[in-house]
Structure 1
Amino acid sequence: MYSSLPKTEIYSYFVGWTLGTGYAVYNVYLAGRELYVGVPGWSFLGRRKDAADYEWTTWVTFIRVLLPWIFVQIIVSELIRWKNSSLLSLWYFLFSVIFMSFTLGPAVTILMVFQPCIIYASALMASRSLIWIVSLVSLVIFCNSEIGLNWVTDMDKVRYLVLISMAWNNLRTVSFCLDNLSVNRRGSLLCLLGYCFYLPTLFFGPVILYDKYENGLTRPHTKWSVERLGLVVLNLFRFFGWAVVAELSLHYLYFCTMQRYPEFVWELKPWALYGMGYCMGQFFMVKYTVLYGVSSTFARAEHIDAPHHPKCIARIHLYSKMWRYFDQGLYFFLAKYIYIPCLGKNPNLFRKLMASAVCFVFTYVWHGLYLHVLIWSFLNFMGVSVEGICRIIESWSAYQECENKLLSKENSRRFKALMSVPLFIMAAISNFYFFAGDAVGNIYFKRLFSGSLLANSVLFFFCYCCSQVSIEVSNWEQRTKDKSLKNG
């Protein structure tokens, strides 16, 4: 935990970061008035809505169809748990197959079932290497191209939903096969299919590692209480509230449409340009807060320990924490099945860098073999590696002696926050590649290096405020945790 700073200084950082982001977002609103965007929005607002985010518009439409089916699944699941929990896997699989057949079509359903079966067949050879090879081939064929989809559907939205679902199922199948292999157990195909096609997380994630899922599946039946039901309802209202916030923002901030016009983005003034980047990041976070939050709420209602939704990116300034806290399910997967095994028994700096590189190569393949994803993955690898090297240097006794001699604890915190700003800016721009593609990402780098001293100094100052806010929030979380452990 970092040293505390005077309260006046801390408040100034919070005020600076809040005012900076607020003014930047206001400039995005002003810039958006020059665009004619989207579709008619909510009638009582009298404004048009930005409908350029294909992910969000597809998800919002599909989740309305999906939710009633999830409620039915949970109700029947509780009855099965009460009578014979060994039938849960069969129920999860069959019910999802029925749902997919009605909504996506039989041909698509067969293809989606075929994918985990192929990887499961490779696991029968009890070879980790073969499981990974077949998994990666499956990703390339089914999840990064339309080779396996052209003959089953010509509908773009169906194709998109199938692609993301098969990407999730790839992770689940690997988790199932490797977990069972580690305990010298084969695991039945029906258990795998029930796990892969668990409806609340089938399309929107997050990935729940198999051991967590299995613990929830085998947990004894417990009756529903008012508190349990109330918690589910409260969380659903909470995440649907965030969905309303996302929808409302699209009526006033047209940053999604801006992404489609790089020439327009290039002409934005500095405040609007970086405000657009902030909006892209926040909207991306809110999208996954809604999706992961709703999915995890239903999973936890069945006592399955699902990962938490993303933490707000406006209070995270380090690459490592962004990876740890944005998509916890993917982070746990990478750590358990790739990073830790690659470290070996005698981890050193070289092994850590190589293990990290393998994780990001897999992340690149899993997210899609596109140039902007490659740039995003590479920049993230560089950022995480620089952080790791800096932590190693900080652990050296010679460095600690020098730091203690030259800097007070308060100045040490200020120095580290200052040094983290360049990495924080690079992290933000790397994500702009992921959100908006390589054309827009290139614009941010070009504008950064061609920007005036004044513009870059202002950007640097507000990013420094963000770093201090992030540190202070982390300190508060740690103090709260320590207090809870002390009282618990």
Structure 2
Amino acid sequence: MTSSSQTEHRYKTRWTRGRGTNSFSLCSGVVTQNSSYAVHFCPRSAIRAVELVNCVCNMGSLPKWEIGAYFVIWIGVSIYGILRVLITSLNVTQRVMDGLDLGTWPLGKYKDNGDTEWTLWIHIFGPQVLIGLIGHFVVTRICELPFLGLIQHRFYACAVYTAAFLYYVIGLQFVAVLLFHTVIMYVIARSRVTWFCWLYGLMVFEGLTFEPFRTLQLGDHRNQPYYMPHVTSVTMVTTIMRLISLGLDLCDKEVDKQNEGERKKREKDGQREESSIFESLTYIFYLPTFFLGPLMTSEDFKQQTRQNPRACGVADLWGFLVSCARYACWGLLLEFIYHHFFIHMLQRTFFLFQSLDMWTLGAIGFLQCQCFQLKYTVLYGVAGTFARADGIVTPATPKVIAVIYAFGDMWKNFDKGLHKWMLRHVYIPLGGSQRGLPRQVLSSFAPFLVLTVRGGGDLSIIVWAGANWIGVVLETLARTAARTPYLQRLKTKYAPSDASERRLVALFHGCLLAPAFISMLVFLGGINVGRIYALKTYVIGFPLATLVTTFFMYCRVQGIMELEGWEKVDSEKNVEPKTRKKE
């Protein structure tokens, strides 16, 4: 029996017609090229690989000299701009001394202290959090000792430890408020009214912006360190997102309980039907993801905690140490950048920042975006490392922003936990892409509205969310329009080859990538920073700066497309030997 027939026999595969010789098919979980069929079956990763490969590779490959030119321009311009930022930082050190701290040997003499979030969560409050995480790790390992018999209750012990740690670090009032919100949301969820859960969550959000509700929730910090208001505010925002997820998932469970047959079947199989208040508290008071995330939905967390517990072995401990060392190296890299590239201080020195040329400005923006991604790679990575030691798999760390070119991928690949939260609780309940284009546009607007409320309605967040939503809508409309018969005829007439289609797609994304870049800088640096980039790109520098920026973004998109194609070919080569070995 051949490989494909074995697969058809084993998985009862459903075959559908592909796109000719350039399409891809799956045979026993392997992506194979030059097939006229596509198979839809089992491994989720393989199906995702087919989708991505078809997106890139069906556009056709370009001549090698053209691809080489795109890479040379993309990499060359990036390196040139980064060198200009380094030279500028060295030349203006004396002019921005007020915004610099003394550096740490051997990283450098001075350090940019403009990233207050990194300074707070790593250098100031970070050591306390790290001690708390180590204590959490020790408590979990003690509960896993066989002679104690507490392995089934280790998450309850961790919740008690987290509450005690918060009482010591922040205060009793903050812990009491969290307990109060959790109990109230648990009671509200019993009503099976989802909009009631949303209403309560949004009311708590708004309470953070008005007095005296803010002080009632976060506490009086007059006798506490100066950074504590920021810590409690950020932590409360993250907790409210978890509370909303808790309430909505409990509402779903209450609806499912109406099916008596399903309920009895689950009880017979030994599955718990509903969450207790104590299990809900373990979700809210889970220390590794408590302060900053990554965000997990209530259902994902509880499904993992209900699995058969397994003690942490030697191999797990070694993997834990290796992962900690890896994220420590990423943190050192970010520290090195802040010791030599004063990107935040250049932005804050407004008269100096607006006098810089476009090459330097573009490189500053590029470095700021990469540092933002690297910062959350460290923060989410450390949290995920401690969670994996407990058997909890958190959402993956952010993807490198430099290799993303689509609005739809830009934000969902950065915070994957938040993206999944939005899909489960906002986008899909509103209809998503299954109820027509108008409903899809509305469904895509709602997540950005929630993000705006989550950010306190700040103008920079409103601009960022609005620009991203418009970009997502334009990409959706473009994909829909590309499938119409009229545009198909135009494509056949003016872009008959797959290579021509790829160039048109790259040009479309290249034109959108510059506004996406500017909106990200508005989010990171504020309205004034974004205004400088927009004016120099589209007003003062028009048309030369506009054309040069668009052409560079076009080269970047072409390079990313080629990298995605290479990545899929490599994944195909890695999957095929494993599949053959199993056969």
- 8 Å contact from structure 2 (residues 133, 287) kept in 1: yes
One-letter amino acid matched to 1:419: F
Q: 2: CA distance between counterparts of 1:63 and 1:239? A: 14
Matching residue's letter, 2:104: W
Q: Determine the C-alpha separation between the residues in 2 that align with 1:153 and 1:119.
A: 26
Q: Which residue of 1 aligns with 2:374?
A: 286
**TM-score, reference length from structure 1:** 0.94
The residue number in structure 2 matching 1:6 is 63
SS at match of 1:43: coil
How far apart, in 2, do the equivalents of 1:379 and 1:392 lie?
20
Q: Which is worse superposed, 234-243 or 144-153?
A: 144-153
In structure 2, the residue matched to 1:422 is 511
- Contact between 1:266 and 1:443, CA under 8 Å: does it hold in 2? yes
Map of 1:250 onto structure 2: 338
CA contact (8 A) 1:10 1:468 kept: yes
Match of 2:289 in 1: 201
Shift of 1:482: 4.2
| Matched residue type, 1:430 | S
For the residues of structure 2 that align with 1:375 and 1:302, how far apart are their CA atoms? 39
Q: Which runs of 5+ in 1 are unaligned?
A: none
The equivalent residue for 1:383 is: 471
Could you tell me how far apart the structure 1 residues matched to 2:324 and 2:64 are?
36
CA change 1:102–1:201 in 2 (3 A) is same
Q: Is the 8 A contact 1:215 1:304 kept in 2?
A: no
Q: Which has the higher contact order (CA 8 A, sep 6+)?
A: 1
Contact preservation (8 Å) 2:107, 2:336? no
Q: How does 1:457-476 map to 2 (within 5 A)?
A: 457-476=547-566
Q: What is the CA distance between 1:46 and its match in structure 2? A: 4.7
Number of residues paired by the alignment?
Answer: 488
TM-fit CA distance, 1:93? 1.8
Matches within 5 A, 1:341-380: 341-343=429-431, 347-380=435-468
Quick one: distance in 2 between partners of 1:186 and 1:157?
39
Distance 1:144 1:170, change over 3 A: farther
- Please tell me whether the aligned partners of residues 108 and 339 of structure 2 are also in contact (alpha carbons under 8 angstroms): no
In structure 2, relative to structure 1, the CA distance for the partners of 1:378 and 1:173 (3 Å cut) is same
2:531 aligned partner: 442
Q: Distance in 1 between matches of 2:319 and 2:65?
A: 38
- What is the alpha-carbon distance in structure 1 between the residues aligned to residue 179 and residue 571 of structure 2? 43
User: 83-92 or 199-208, which moves further after superposition?
Assistant: 83-92
Structure 2: how far apart are the matches of 1:190 and 1:87? Answer: 11
Alignment partner of 1:326 out of 414, 421, 426 = 414
SS of 2:339's equivalent in the other structure is coil
Following superposition, the deviation at residue 148 of structure 1 comes to 1.8
In structure 2, the partner of 1:93 is 159
- Report deviation, 1:291: 0.6
Output the CA distance in 1 between the equivalents of 2:389 and 2:433: 39
Greater shift after overlay, 445-454 or 282-291?
A: 445-454
Change (3 A) 1:275 1:147: farther
Q: Aligned letter for 1:76?
A: V
* Worse overlay, 457-466 or 406-415: 457-466
Q: Retained in 2: the 8 A contact 1:144–1:368?
A: no
Return the letter of the residue paired with 1:138: V
130, 149, 160: which one pairs with 2:196? 130
Confirm or deny: 8 A CA contact 1:172 1:209 kept in the other structure: yes
Matches within 5 A, 1:18-417: 18-32=75-89, 33-34=91-92, 35-36=96-97, 37-61=99-123, 62-81=125-144, 83-142=149-208, 147-149=213-215, 151-154=219-222, 155-184=225-254, 187-343=275-431, 347-407=435-495, 408-417=497-506
How many percent identity over aligned positions?
28
Q: Which runs of 5+ in 2 are unaligned?
A: 1-54, 255-272
The offset of 1:85, in angstroms, is 4.2
| Larger radius of gyration between Structure 1 and Structure 2 | 2
SS of 2:214's equivalent in the other structure is: coil
Structure with greater helix share of residues: 1
How far apart are 1:94 and its partner, in Å? 1.2
CA contact (8 A) 2:189 2:250 kept: no
1:39 is paired with a residue of what secondary structure?
Answer: strand
Q: Is the 8 A contact 2:190 2:251 kept in 1?
A: no
Q: How much does 1:192 deviate?
A: 1.6
CA–CA distance in structure 2, aligned partners of residues 485 and 146 of structure 1 = 58
Alignment partners' CA distance in 2, 1:382 and 1:160: 31
C-alpha distance after superposition, 1:205-228 (max 9, x if no partner): 110122221122122232434432
Cα distance in 2 between the residues matched to 1:318 and 1:102? 45
Contact residue 372 and residue 438 of structure 1 kept, 8 A: yes
Q: C-alpha deviations, 1:121-141, integer Å up to 9, x for none? A: 322322100000111111121
2:185 is matched by which residue type in structure 1?
Answer: I
The change in CA–CA distance for 1:233 and 1:344 in structure 2 (over 3 A counts) is closer
CA contact (8 A) 1:116 1:169 kept: no
Q: 438-447 or 304-313, which moves further after superposition? A: 438-447
3-state secondary structure, aligned to 2:429: helix
SS of corresponding position for 1:267: coil
Distance 1:168 1:29 in 2: 36
Question: Quick one: distance in 2 between partners of 1:146 and 1:406?
Answer: 64
Contact 2:296/2:394 (CA < 8 Å) preserved in 1? yes
Matched letter for residue 110 of structure 2: R
Alignment check: 8 A CA contact 2:432 2:440 kept: no
Residues 376, 433 of structure 1: 8 Å contact kept: yes
Q: Label 1:270 to 1:146 Cα distance change in 2 as closer, same or farther (>3 A).
A: farther
Cα deviation 1:409-440 (Å, max 9, x = unaligned) = 11211111011112111111001111011111
Give the Cα separation in 1 of the matches to 2:251 and 2:107: 56
Structure-2-length-normalised TM-score: 0.79
